[in-house]
Amino acid sequence: MEPVAPGFLALLHGKKFRDIFRPMTEDNAKLARTPLYDCHREAGARLVPFAGWEMPVQYVGVIEEHHAVRQAAGLFDVSHMGEFRVQGPAAEAFLQALTPNDVTKLTPGRAHYSALLTEEGTYVDDLLVYRRSSEEFLVVVNAANIATDFAWVAGRAAAHPGGGVAVENVSDQYALLAVQGPRAVEIVQGLTDADLDAIRYYRFAEGSVAGVPAILSRTGYTGEDGFELYVPPDAAADLWRELLRVGAGAGLQPAGLGARDTLRLEAGMALYGNDIDDTTTPWEAGLDWTVKLAAGDFVGRAALMAQKEAGIQRKLVGFELQDRGIARHDHTVLEGDAVVGRVTSGTFSPTFQKALGLAYVPVALAEPGTALTLGVRNKRLAAVVVETPFYRRAK
């Protein structure tokens, strides 16, 4: 659910580092910094502008960091994400009417993936909803959309019939660290008294890590097992350093936004601004499992019902290149000379050593095994539709 940033996406889905990123200057000196900024400098990170923040795109290299997460563990700074507290006796009813997933199914300690949708059923943003108690929720949104999303949510809360719900932007109350990879649980368990085995996927617990109060959430954006740790900002740097110290023997490495993107793409996870945006619906994006039409009315429901009845005209699919080359964001899908679709994300996969990506194509071209022709820098490259996710971790 990570937000789009033009320079960063150009790096990963198009141009090279030297063509995109410039040294920090007075023009971008006002970028926000997370509480882990000094840790990134200590680790030799390459810092870049991203969604209004100065963030690490890599430390030792995208490919090495990618492999560390797949084979051992990686530590990510995700503190730029936004958090809203939604609370009150009507908080559940409010979120149920605002988002397409079924909030009533969440018991305290559970979370789910959902969205903010327009009345047309397209994306304002994708998000996570955590239920902390009967009357309190934490909603996590993309960094680039914090202001827009908060205005969207708070405005509707103020107009909620009967009131009973309050929304607060508490983004500055949290730093967020993600430990991801097959050894992530082992590493975090060494620093907490919480029973991590008891926290199933998309569950969370409130406890401490290395003595730091934390929400320990078994979620992530890499396709690997692991935890996202919501902690007080003033304790984040010490926790970062302690995690790296304790995890060194298990192969834990700091990992930047570059590896985060290649990992999420292999895992078939949507990137807001690329794969989903205000022109796409959950049906088209293959995210229909986040929409519970039978659970009652919500913003965008009528439009989604109409589209479901009529049938979608396009679909987001995975593809592999058959020719040499890489298809990047906004490259075209062709039938003859006609553009019939567009690539939304594309990269060279470090895990599979092949070029792959996601694209919206007409439904007639969406079946796995279908041959595609992609327009890539004035060339036509052969590709084939494949099932997603490209990568599934071993259970």
| Yes or no: domain 82-172 corresponds to CATH 3.40.50.12280 | no
Pick the CATH number of 6-77+174-266 from 3.30.1360.120, 1.10.10.10, 3.40.228.10, 3.40.50.720: 3.30.1360.120
Which tens digits make up the pLDDT trace of 125-150? 999 999 999 999 999 999 999 999 99
Structure confidence at residue 311 (pLDDT): 98
Structure tokens at 106: 């969440």
Q: What is the pLDDT of residues 30-85, one digit of tens each?
A: 899 999 999 999 999 999 999 999 999 999 999 999 999 999 999 999 999 999 99
Asked if residue 185 lies in contact with residue 227, where contact means CB atoms within 8 angstroms, the answer is yes
- Report the relative pairing of strands 252-254 and 73-77 from DSSP bridges: parallel
Cα–Cα distance, 188 to 190 (Å, whole number):
5
Helix then strand then coil, % of the chain, to nearest 5? 30, 35, 35
User: Out of 2.40.30.110, 3.40.1800.10, 1.10.3720.10, 2.40.30.10, which CATH number does the structure's domain 313-395 have?
Assistant: 2.40.30.110
Nearest CA to 99 among 30, 166, 149, 170? 149
- Listed by start position, the domains of the chain span 6-77+174-266, 82-172, 313-395
What pTM, to 2 d.p., does this model score? Answer: 0.93
Give 208's pLDDT tier (boundaries 50, 70, 90): very high
Quickly list DSSP for 5-55. Answer: -HHHHHHHHTS-HHHH-----GGGTT-B--TTHHHHHHTT-EEEEETTEEE
